[in-house]
Structure 1
């Protein structure tokens, strides 16, 4: 057999089938680009090169011609990752083995086949031609990402999150490379029509909008002071922040302005608003669209379970928005806390493929006090890890800050959280609307 293919078409002469080496190289290249934000490009490249290694078998090539039943083509790549990729190979094996079926359990617990069982299963013979067509990174190039800060007290959690991030890089890259191939074959247009608005363009629109607000009256002047103070801190080092502003203080637009300024100052890629209730998601998304004027529709991605696409939008616009929802490839994402946190602890490719786009972002956790009590430990660990090893800035935005910091007694809590608001206790006094007195 001279040529090996990744995907077939209706052409019986195979003239337009996708070559396997091209698909693996393309997926590796895209996965590496996805992982740049957290310095894991070489690791993700290896995942992309190995993910469909099991297609280098006579059985899979026969399947493409309709001569063989459905078969496992992912496990061979996982095996080779463990054999060739050093200590990081185990993490790669999870991502590769699960790029269709989902992340496996480590042991044989539950209904899903464990990774151990997958690796020991009987597979068709892997043909040696793959070693001539692919060049893998050397094992000594495949350690933990550069600058990765390991924490002894949560080392297992860190490795689990890194696995999911690599998994996200791989499955998103695999989908896009495959989709682009079939779009060319079917004569469809590219996945994205035109460039998305830049954060700099969005900030200019927001500034124009804010300039129309008059600072007349005590409350409006206070809102203007809060906005100015918050924006003045955009240049500080990325990490963990709190924005403690009472209701009525204008924290929604203040947090947006800070996020854009901070992202532009530090080269971060997008802004993600995480909001507890769908009704508030819809409300804030509309506020942001209006703030961005003519760029609002293209800039703001609204992603939650109750979102219904406006049928008046053109099909191309609806398709573009649907694709963006799958991987959050938008300048500003407005989503629910359920969507955000559950995705980080999910196992399905469709839920996880957006995770790599959270790296190198500004994440605004609105109404942070609503995080569910029984899930606080994993949620706080995730918040801390995103800031520590994934170049993200997290802003806990609320009028009533929860006690999540280590110095407040929260076990393994957040450290080094910086307050953005000017003197929150004074703001509460200035924005007090009601005095309650108990009569004797």
Structure 2
């Protein structure tokens, strides 16, 4: 009887036997090949699947080492294999002149590395310097064992080359997804999920029905603005019937014009005609995802379907009702995936197997980037734009960038050397009509004089009609103003990231309740917030005050004022307030504030009134002026990213394209969660995030924060925490910790 070889060790405590090497290799070869071949309808010159098959065939070759087999067979217990199992596969592939396959196998645990750095190592390209000599001596015997166990072999290099880093990421994605799935399936952590049918045509009909019903209902309500309802209907029809080409489009449409459903109608039609696999909806912030998901689940889910399986909500706070829904979301396998811009674009930039595992699902997808003006930092857009163009040209993706204050960044030389003509879904005449309506709804004004005293500012605010919204540039400033107003007896609410997500949710619901038509008489109150309410929130205030920040932010806040043109004499103010030990500034807004002031002084904002310029034109002009004042910092970072991507320096690209700074730490603020962790109770990451705030690492030693003894890099709050109003700023406003 021939000896059995193992790829993964047994778990007798779970009654799981060892994973046979021959079974694992044959499955990973089959699965990775299938995943790669599924891309063929979306790319004309797709490289042969032999490339991913060869990488899959040899990816675990080193596990056949006899020392490793002692652990993998269960003979010895050890958390780690004694011999690096990756090196043998790399050696076998290099001997066959399969450079790309070797590079991918080398990365299948540690992540994609820098191609140039590895090439500089000469004969140690992708090799383990500590064991390569021993592996070289043993490689033929390992290949013989492999051949007898699997009957799978691959010959010399067949001429496969990759023209871009994205193509290499996609091949890597197919391998690691197959490897991770087969391993997890053996250990009973994952199982195969049947694909949910796309049914694009049926979903488009369902969306038509949903939109028509809402339109008819609006006509029955005498309090609704009929002209606005009719305009929404026109925009929906225009987007739905827009040309399918080119494959990158814009949708410049004001707030409240129905972009959520109008762009979806266009993408459903594109997906149907081009037989696409997925539709992605990309939103800037986690806190606005749920309301879009609710709309789509109400409108697009067909009878007998599980809404979670059809419309996946994917972000760090979401909870799933079952394994199937979680799997479909986390691996981008649902027909429609709603996620954040950070998660979507950082996946594109990533080099790690856990992040890139799902990436091969992106080709053959339609992508709706909503609130695109705030989706990414400006320095990220040049590379993101190149990826979008590559995905649209080479991988049959279709993109729509939508915003009421769309920045046409691709028109700047700093962003794109080619002058791309990107047409809008909405015809120019209809766009002008919607902008005319928008200008009747709200026009930003600037309060020229800086407020020197907080009392003066509060008096100015409270003399304006309510309900009122104040948006500040920092968490501390918002908390100070909210607390001061409350102490003076004003009716005030507060919303910022000083509150844990679990506490922000009921506050948002209460704000919506107070703003509803049923509470018209409840108008003498103020919400003090940070930019977390700036985009996507379905709020409609009478008056808003935005601390001077940027032109796109100011226009975006306009979407929280007189949202449905239901209020008369609505106002939006840009203002400045003197900084002191209580009111602090955000240094990153220094340049955009200067540009915003210049736009007011030059009369550019005034041109909105006469419709001489659209919000998009003014935002684009503002971005141009920002770049002119940026002291080349922007250009330098753009060039760094471009250089790293072109040279396939994958770790550097991932590092440079990190949108959310890793310099913040999770700090748990809920006492019951803190005690559960101290007692050793296992909690999901989502549960921890919901009950935590994020605080800059350099502030930790100045705040009432302690680190869990058993969990390094996880912290908890020991100061005062107010779940209904100020959050962790309750401690700061007691005068002890004004360092935030």
- Confirm or deny a common fold (TM above 0.5): yes
In structure 1, what is the Cα distance between the partners aligned to 2:298 and 2:278? 18
- The answer to whether the 8 A contact 2:173-2:359 is kept is yes
* RMSD value, Cα: 3.2
In structure 2, what is the Cα distance between the partners aligned to 1:430 and 1:58? 75
In structure 1, what is the Cα distance between the partners aligned to 2:443 and 2:17? 75
Question: Quick one: which of 160, 171, 178 aligns to 1:173?
Answer: 178
Please state if 1:333 is matched with 2:337: yes
Question: Quick one: which of 306, 330, 346 aligns to 2:350?
Answer: 346
* Counterparts of residues 12-161 of structure 1 (less than 5 Å): 17-35=18-36, 36-37=38-39, 38=43, 39-40=46-47, 41-65=49-73, 66-67=75-76, 70=81, 71-84=83-96, 86=97, 89-106=98-115, 116=125, 118-123=127-132, 124=135, 125-126=138-139, 127-129=142-144, 130-131=146-147, 133-136=151-154, 139-140=157-158, 142-144=160-162, 158=164, 160-161=165-166
SS across alignment from 1:405: helix
* Counterparts of residues 1-400 of structure 1 (less than 5 Å): 2-10=3-11, 17-35=18-36, 36-37=38-39, 38=43, 39-40=46-47, 41-65=49-73, 66-67=75-76, 70=81, 71-84=83-96, 86=97, 89-106=98-115, 116=125, 118-123=127-132, 124=135, 125-126=138-139, 127-129=142-144, 130-131=146-147, 133-136=151-154, 139-140=157-158, 142-144=160-162, 158=164, 160-183=165-188, 190-192=191-193, 195-200=195-200, 201-214=202-215, 216=219, 217-233=226-242, 236-237=244-245, 239-293=247-301, 295=305, 296-309=307-320, 313=321, 317=322, 319-370=323-374, 371-400=376-405
Deviation at 1:136, TM superposition (A): 2.5
- CA offset digits 1:367-388 (Å, max 9, x no partner): 1111201222222222222212
SS across alignment from 2:158: helix
For residues 58 and 82 of structure 1, do their structure 2 counterparts lie closer, same or farther at Cα, with a shift above 3 Å needed? Answer: same
Q: Which runs of 5+ in 2 are unaligned?
A: 119-123, 220-225, 446-605, 607-740
For residues 251 and 57 of structure 1, do their structure 2 counterparts lie closer, same or farther at Cα, with a shift above 3 Å needed? Answer: same
Q: Which runs of 5+ in 1 are unaligned?
A: 110-114, 145-149, 151-157
Q: Normalised by the size of structure 2, how large is the TM-score? A: 0.50
- CA offset digits 1:305-357 (Å, max 9, x no partner): 23244xxx3xxx1x223323431111111111111111222222111111111
- The answer to whether the 8 A contact 1:247-1:399 is kept is yes
In structure 2, what is the Cα distance between the partners aligned to 1:430 and 1:90? 59
Equivalent residue, structure 2, for 1:154: none
SS across alignment from 1:223: helix
In structure 2, what is the Cα distance between the partners aligned to 1:377 and 1:90? 30
For residues 24 and 436 of structure 1, do their structure 2 counterparts lie closer, same or farther at Cα, with a shift above 3 Å needed? Answer: closer
- CA offset digits 1:175-204 (Å, max 9, x no partner): 112223333xxxx88442x55242334334
Moved over 6 A (4+): none
SS across alignment from 1:335: strand
In structure 1, what is the Cα distance between the partners aligned to 2:393 and 2:384? 14
> Quick check: which has more Rg, 1 or 2?
2
SS across alignment from 1:202: helix
Deviation at 1:6, TM superposition (A): 1.8
Q: Normalised by the size of structure 1, how large is the TM-score? A: 0.82
For residues 415 and 131 of structure 1, do their structure 2 counterparts lie closer, same or farther at Cα, with a shift above 3 Å needed? Answer: farther
In structure 2, what is the Cα distance between the partners aligned to 1:376 and 1:19? 46
Deviation at 1:131, TM superposition (A): 4.1
In structure 1, what is the Cα distance between the partners aligned to 2:240 and 2:161? 38
* Counterparts of residues 413-432 of structure 1 (less than 5 Å): 415-423=420-428, 424-432=431-439
In structure 1, what is the Cα distance between the partners aligned to 2:29 and 2:126? 26
In structure 1, what is the Cα distance between the partners aligned to 2:279 and 2:357? 18
- The answer to whether the 8 A contact 1:226-1:422 is kept is no
For residues 362 and 42 of structure 1, do their structure 2 counterparts lie closer, same or farther at Cα, with a shift above 3 Å needed? Answer: farther
Deviates more, 1:387-396 or 1:356-365: 387-396
Deviation at 1:16, TM superposition (A): 5.8
For residues 142 and 20 of structure 1, do their structure 2 counterparts lie closer, same or farther at Cα, with a shift above 3 Å needed? Answer: farther
